[in-house]
Structure 1
Amino acid sequence: MNSELTMPTKLSFKSNKVMVNGDVMRAAIFARFMVAEVQTELTEKYYLIFYKNALIYGDQLDKVEKGSFIDKVLNEGIILDQKHPLLPVFIPVTALVIPAKNKLFNHLQRNYSLLEIPCIAASLDSFFPPEQLAKPIENIFFHYRRNGSFSNAYQSIHLLSGLSPSLEKISDLLHSREYSSYSRFYATSSISEIQKRTPYLQSSIAL
């Protein structure tokens, strides 16, 4: 094998106004998401989350919590280790900037649809407490419910609880009678039937 294919894949990004350089140890692709594990020269490990090829957020983690979204992706996604010839194809060559934590959700609201935000929020449970993630999802849920879009209201919470098991408590919002038909549909229908009715969920249900 050509030695160039086994050279470390480098990634540079700015975190809290500090430039960080590291080697990508592995990347995992899951539906529209990618998680990149980056190790710095000081052996610090950062986990960066991408959605549709755009960096969403990332930070240093001492360990990946079992049951988190990152854990799910690393165990169920398509893994590209550091020697995989396709890894450099998925890693940006230009330096990235991790959004400020206190401005992240405003950024998401400006750049993504209301149904995408719950999906993205589910991927951030390693970096934010559940209560902080639940708030914008509840706002979207009640927005759809006030406007009579019960299907979208259900989808917003269904996406969140399905993608991130550690946030399943928010599914309590779905236990009212008005969502019983949607609950039965998701519980009893095949994946192909769900995809026909809710095409947005297609990439989130299966790889």
Structure 2
Amino acid sequence: MRKHQLTVYNRQQPIKLKAERVVFYLQGEIIEAVNRKNEEFYLFFYKNRFLTAAKTTKLRRACFIEKAFKSGIVFDGSHPIVSKLLSSNAPCHIIGFDILLKKLNSHYSPHEKSFILTFFESFISKKKLLQEMISIFYDFRRNGQLFHAYQITQIIKEFAPDHNLVKQLTNDVAYQKYAIMYEEKSEELFTKDLLYAEKLYYYEKENLHYFHNYIQLVENQSRWISAIALWIWQVSNQPTKQNYQSLIERLNEQFDDVENIYILEKVSKQIPKFIPIQQDLFQLYVEINDMDKLFRLMKQKEFQLNDKQVQLIGDRLAKTNWEKNSSPLDMETMDALLKPISKEFPDKAEPILTNFVISLLKTKELNEVKNWLKQSQGSYDNFSIYKKVKQMVQLENELDEMQTLGELYFDLKLYDRAIECFSWEMEMKPQDPKPVQWLSKTYREMGMPEESEAYRKHSNTL
């Protein structure tokens, strides 16, 4: 797949971009993209909902974006998850800071607003962002909502650990009980402070208990894109059948076959020995009739065909038009495919092999094809195509057998080679009408009536 093309609007003016990568980190998602001038843009999302976009020339050190791409779940710009994130948020408009604040005030809690503001320190002065957070802190404190106020300080502490407010509250008795709650990771926090809960779940997601709590939290908030990102991460790091089944169920709900193939191929590269993913890729390749990818899958040592797959691939191979197949044919892979088919379903294997050999003979020499067939350790000895190729190799060096060789080529519909043989025979035996008649017949089969008629008339004079 190509990297996704996307459009953002700045004051109604479209800006065409190409997605380079996307990251899922805590509650945020960021798409890194470039325009034709290779200028860098970042698109910001919170819980799968678009916030705004911004162009940058240089990121601040240790900013949220840098942390996200260092510690987050990253996919390249061609990943189908990018298109899902974009399509569910189109159109995407760049908005200024004042409008962003209004948007945050309207749609998010004060705590979420404070956290979201930390995304933008490479684009908005840190002082300005802190002023907004501190204002929220004092609003809560004036209203006697000390726990909510302390939650804000936790966000500020992460964002600006050396800020005076953080230092002042360290020894403030009024907040000591809340400090103890966070130090001890109190169970109460997992319902009272979901920002904290998700942060803990994220960094402890290798713990199965925390991971499942995290998934439950995300799916309860209808963040299915984030849930899929998490399941991809989980399967890549802990490839169990149960984890994989959970991923597949969610992929099938949201993505089509082509998108699923891309996703599973990416995951498979990380866990090449995980057989269930290879089995599903096999089925998907067959369903979309992608024989090239099917061949590449068959080269993997870990993959073994079962009887049902042998029959299925036999049916598909029988329908394959080798001349129109997009990739160069791999004799080694075809041999690996045909051996189990010839063993279980010899009636299917012979026509498949015949068609494949015919395609090979259009680009390869007879002897090379014969040697390949011979190296199959007896798998094809009883097939008529093997016997025919073997006979043709013997005839190839016999100048007085060009007529017979030409007829064998004709039977295989290799008309160009048949014409070479009949033409040679005609020169060797200028008074014999037989090679001329066969030339007429061959040109007729090739859809060349004028040439066919000319040779027919010539044969009548002999």
Query: 8 Å contact 1:29–1:78 — kept in the other structure?
Result: yes
1:153 aligns with 2:141: no
Question: What is the 5 A alignment of 1:170-181?
Answer: 170-175=165-170, 176-181=172-177
Q: Structure 1 residue 88 and structure 2 residue 83: aligned?
A: yes
Determine the structure 1 residue equivalent to 2:33.
38
Structure 2: 5+ residue stretches without partners:
203-462
**Structure 2 residue identity aligned to 1:100:** G
Which residue type is aligned with residue 64 of structure 1? L
On the 8 A contact 2:53/2:93 being kept in 1, the answer is no
1:11 to 1:183, Cα distance in 2 relative to 1, 3 A: same
Count of matched residue positions in the alignment of Structure 1 and Structure 2: 199
Task: Give the letter for the 2:48 counterpart.
Answer: N
Q: 1:137 to 1:65 in 2, by over 3 A?
A: same
Q: Deviations over 1:104-128 (max 9, x none)?
A: 2122112211121111111111111
Which residues of 2 match residues 48-127 of structure 1 at below 5 A? 48-92=43-87, 94-127=90-123
The 1:64/1:191 distance shift into structure 2, 3 A limit, reads: farther
Alignment check: 8 A CA contact 1:11 1:95 kept: no
Q: What do the CA deviations read for 1:114-151 (whole angstroms, capped 9, x no partner)?
A: 12111111111111111110112111111111111111
Q: Is the 8 A contact 1:50 1:57 kept in 2?
A: yes
The answer as to whether partners of 2:7 and 2:14 remain within 8 angstroms in 1 is yes
Partner Cα distance (2:100, 2:161) in 1:
19
Q: 1:22 aligns with which of 1, 14, 17?
A: 17
Segments of structure 1 that go 5 or more residues without pairing to the other structure are 1-5
Letter in 1 for 2:87: P
Q: How many angstroms does 1:193 deviate by?
A: 6.1
- Secondary structure of the equivalent of 2:18? strand
Q: Percent identity?
A: 22
Relative to the length of structure 2, the TM-score reads: 0.40
Q: CA deviation at 1:75?
A: 0.6
Tell me the TM-score normalized by structure 1: 0.85
| 2:343 alignment partner in structure 1 | none
Which is richer in helix? 2
Rate the CA distance shift 1:191–1:87 in 2: closer, same or farther, 3 A.
Answer: farther
Q: Which residue identity lines up with residue 40 of structure 1 in the other structure?
A: N
Deviation at 1:173, TM superposition (A): 4.9
**Over residues 47-102 of structure 1, what are the superposed CA-to-partner deviations in whole Å (9 max), with x where a residue is unaligned?**
11111222223211123222101111111111011233433222237331111233
Local SS of the residue matching 1:115: helix
What does the per-residue CA deviation read over 1:2-50, in whole Å, with 9 as the maximum and x for residues that have no partner? Answer: xxxx122122111255321111100000122101101111111001111
1:159 Cα deviation (Å)? 2.3
Bigger CA drift: 191-200 or 92-101? 191-200
Corresponding residue of 1:199: 194
- Larger CA deviation: 50-59 vs 195-204: 195-204
CA distance in 1, matches of 2:186, 2:51: 28
Instruction: Tell me by how many angstroms 1:167 deviates.
Output: 6.2
Aligned-CA RMSD value: 2.2
Contact 1:69 1:122 in 2 (8 A): yes
2:87 alignment partner, SS class: coil
Give the Cα–Cα distance (whole angstroms) in 1 for the partners of residues 47 and 78 of structure 2: 23
Measure the CA separation in 2 of the matches of 1:102 and 1:167: 26
8 Å CA contact 2:19, 2:77 repeated in 1: yes
- As a proportion of its length, which structure holds more strand? 1
Larger RCO, structures 1/2 (Cα 8 Å, 6+ apart): 1
